[in-house]
Amino acid sequence: MAVYFKCTTRTSMPKLELFDLARSIDVHKDSMAGSREEAVNGVTSGLIALGEEVTWRAWHFGVPLRMTSRITEMQSPDYFVDEQVKGPFRRFRHVHEFSEDSSGTTMVDRIEFAAPFGPLGRLVEKLVLGRYLKQLIEARNRHLAGTGGKKELT
Protein backbone atom coordinates (compact mmCIF):
# COMPACT_ATOMS: atom_id res chain seq x y z
CA MET A 1 0.00 0.00 0.00
CA ALA A 2 1.27 3.47 -0.84
CA VAL A 3 0.80 6.91 0.64
CA TYR A 4 -0.11 9.75 -1.73
CA PHE A 5 -0.26 13.50 -1.18
CA LYS A 6 -0.29 16.65 -3.26
CA CYS A 7 1.10 20.13 -2.60
CA THR A 8 0.18 23.18 -4.69
CA THR A 9 2.35 26.31 -4.73
CA ARG A 10 1.52 29.57 -6.48
CA THR A 11 4.11 32.23 -7.27
CA SER A 12 4.43 35.30 -9.49
CA MET A 13 7.67 34.10 -11.06
CA PRO A 14 7.74 32.83 -14.66
CA LYS A 15 7.19 29.11 -15.28
CA LEU A 16 10.65 28.38 -16.73
CA GLU A 17 12.36 30.09 -13.79
CA LEU A 18 10.42 28.00 -11.26
CA PHE A 19 10.97 24.83 -13.33
CA ASP A 20 14.73 25.40 -13.21
CA LEU A 21 14.72 26.27 -9.51
CA ALA A 22 12.89 23.00 -8.80
CA ARG A 23 15.63 21.06 -10.69
CA SER A 24 18.50 22.91 -9.01
CA ILE A 25 20.63 20.74 -6.74
CA ASP A 26 22.02 23.87 -5.06
CA VAL A 27 18.58 25.36 -4.30
CA HIS A 28 17.42 21.98 -2.98
CA LYS A 29 20.41 21.84 -0.61
CA ASP A 30 19.59 25.36 0.63
CA SER A 31 15.92 24.46 1.18
CA MET A 32 16.84 21.33 3.17
CA ALA A 33 19.58 22.84 5.34
CA GLY A 34 17.66 21.79 8.46
CA SER A 35 18.18 18.11 7.64
CA ARG A 36 21.80 18.67 6.54
CA GLU A 37 20.96 17.34 3.09
CA GLU A 38 23.97 17.07 0.78
CA ALA A 39 24.36 15.77 -2.77
CA VAL A 40 27.18 13.22 -2.49
CA ASN A 41 27.15 11.39 -5.83
CA GLY A 42 25.91 11.83 -9.39
CA VAL A 43 24.82 15.38 -10.18
CA THR A 44 26.02 17.31 -7.12
CA SER A 45 25.44 20.90 -8.31
CA GLY A 46 23.63 22.81 -11.01
CA LEU A 47 20.51 21.58 -12.81
CA ILE A 48 19.63 17.89 -12.97
CA ALA A 49 18.33 16.61 -16.33
CA LEU A 50 16.49 13.65 -17.82
CA GLY A 51 18.19 10.33 -17.06
CA GLU A 52 20.56 11.82 -14.49
CA GLU A 53 20.86 10.69 -10.87
CA VAL A 54 21.72 12.31 -7.58
CA THR A 55 22.50 10.61 -4.28
CA TRP A 56 21.44 12.59 -1.23
CA ARG A 57 22.75 12.14 2.31
CA ALA A 58 20.59 13.63 5.05
CA TRP A 59 19.49 13.29 8.66
CA HIS A 60 15.82 12.60 9.35
CA PHE A 61 14.41 11.50 12.71
CA GLY A 62 18.00 11.58 14.02
CA VAL A 63 19.06 8.88 11.54
CA PRO A 64 21.52 9.30 8.65
CA LEU A 65 19.90 8.29 5.35
CA ARG A 66 21.04 7.98 1.73
CA MET A 67 18.70 8.08 -1.25
CA THR A 68 19.52 7.95 -4.95
CA SER A 69 16.94 9.46 -7.31
CA ARG A 70 16.79 9.50 -11.10
CA ILE A 71 14.91 11.91 -13.35
CA THR A 72 12.76 9.42 -15.26
CA GLU A 73 10.52 11.81 -17.22
CA MET A 74 10.88 15.42 -18.29
CA GLN A 75 9.05 17.78 -20.59
CA SER A 76 10.59 21.23 -20.10
CA PRO A 77 9.11 23.46 -18.68
CA ASP A 78 5.86 21.55 -18.01
CA TYR A 79 6.86 18.68 -15.72
CA PHE A 80 9.52 16.29 -14.52
CA VAL A 81 9.48 13.13 -12.42
CA ASP A 82 12.08 11.87 -9.99
CA GLU A 83 12.01 8.33 -8.63
CA GLN A 84 14.08 6.57 -6.00
CA VAL A 85 16.41 3.96 -7.48
CA LYS A 86 18.10 3.15 -4.18
CA GLY A 87 17.23 4.19 -0.65
CA PRO A 88 15.01 3.83 2.39
CA PHE A 89 11.65 3.48 0.64
CA ARG A 90 10.16 0.47 -1.10
CA ARG A 91 8.97 2.99 -3.69
CA PHE A 92 9.17 6.78 -4.01
CA ARG A 93 7.87 8.83 -6.96
CA HIS A 94 7.66 12.63 -7.12
CA VAL A 95 5.89 14.36 -10.04
CA HIS A 96 6.54 18.11 -10.43
CA GLU A 97 4.00 19.89 -12.69
CA PHE A 98 4.09 23.56 -13.76
CA SER A 99 1.40 25.73 -15.36
CA GLU A 100 1.42 29.45 -16.07
CA ASP A 101 -1.21 32.14 -16.47
CA SER A 102 -1.11 35.93 -16.68
CA SER A 103 -0.49 36.33 -12.94
CA GLY A 104 2.23 33.72 -12.42
CA THR A 105 2.95 30.03 -12.09
CA THR A 106 1.37 27.14 -10.24
CA MET A 107 3.56 24.21 -9.25
CA VAL A 108 1.88 20.97 -8.22
CA ASP A 109 3.90 18.26 -6.47
CA ARG A 110 2.41 14.76 -6.44
CA ILE A 111 4.23 12.36 -4.15
CA GLU A 112 3.58 8.66 -3.83
CA PHE A 113 5.68 6.43 -1.62
CA ALA A 114 5.70 3.14 0.21
CA ALA A 115 7.87 2.64 3.27
CA PRO A 116 9.58 -0.65 4.09
CA PHE A 117 7.17 -1.44 6.91
CA GLY A 118 5.00 -4.51 7.30
CA PRO A 119 1.23 -4.37 7.94
CA LEU A 120 1.64 -2.91 11.44
CA GLY A 121 3.73 -0.07 10.04
CA ARG A 122 1.04 1.25 7.68
CA LEU A 123 -0.25 3.64 10.32
CA VAL A 124 3.28 4.98 10.90
CA GLU A 125 3.74 5.26 7.15
CA LYS A 126 0.61 7.36 6.69
CA LEU A 127 0.47 9.38 9.92
CA VAL A 128 4.16 9.94 10.61
CA LEU A 129 6.08 9.67 7.34
CA GLY A 130 3.30 11.08 5.18
CA ARG A 131 2.88 14.17 7.36
CA TYR A 132 6.64 14.62 7.74
CA LEU A 133 7.32 14.39 4.00
CA LYS A 134 4.45 16.76 3.19
CA GLN A 135 5.90 19.31 5.62
CA LEU A 136 9.33 18.93 3.97
CA ILE A 137 7.88 19.50 0.50
CA GLU A 138 5.87 22.50 1.71
CA ALA A 139 9.00 24.01 3.30
CA ARG A 140 10.97 23.39 0.10
CA ASN A 141 8.23 25.02 -1.96
CA ARG A 142 8.10 28.08 0.30
CA HIS A 143 11.85 28.37 -0.25
CA LEU A 144 11.46 28.06 -4.04
CA ALA A 145 8.60 30.56 -4.21
CA GLY A 146 10.43 32.94 -1.90
CA THR A 147 13.36 33.18 -4.26
CA GLY A 148 11.38 34.99 -6.92
CA GLY A 149 7.80 35.78 -6.04
CA LYS A 150 5.01 35.84 -3.53
CA LYS A 151 4.40 32.71 -1.49
CA GLU A 152 1.12 30.84 -1.41
CA LEU A 153 0.63 27.18 -0.45
CA THR A 154 -2.55 25.15 -0.55
16-25, 27-36, 82-91, 144-153: least confidently modelled range: 144-153
HEC assignment per residue over the chain: CCEEEEEEEEECCCHHHHHHHHHEHHHHHHHCHHHCCEEEEECCCCECCCCCEEEEEEEECCEEEEEEEEEEEEECCCEEEEEEEECCCCEEEEEEEEEEECCEEEEEEEEEEECCCCHHHHHHHHHHHHHHHHHHHHHHHHHHHHCCCCCEEC
Query: What would the mean pLDDT of 61-70 be, rounded to a whole number?
Result: 93
When pLDDT is cut at 50, 70 and 90, the band that residue 124 belongs to is confident
Phi and psi based region of residue 121 (left: phi greater than 0; alpha: psi -120 to 50; beta: remaining): alpha
Asked whether 135 and 31 are in contact (CB, 8 A), the reply is no
- Residue extents of the structural domains in the chain: 3-117+125-153
Q: Does the domain spanning 3-117+125-153 belong to CATH 3.30.530.20?
A: yes
Does pTM top 0.85 for this prediction?
Answer: yes
Query: What would the mean pLDDT of 39-44 be, rounded to a whole number?
Result: 97
Query: What would the mean pLDDT of 23-46 be, rounded to a whole number?
Result: 93
Q: Has residue 148 got a pLDDT over 90?
A: no
Average pLDDT in the chain: 90
9-18, 89-98, 142-151: least confidently modelled range: 142-151
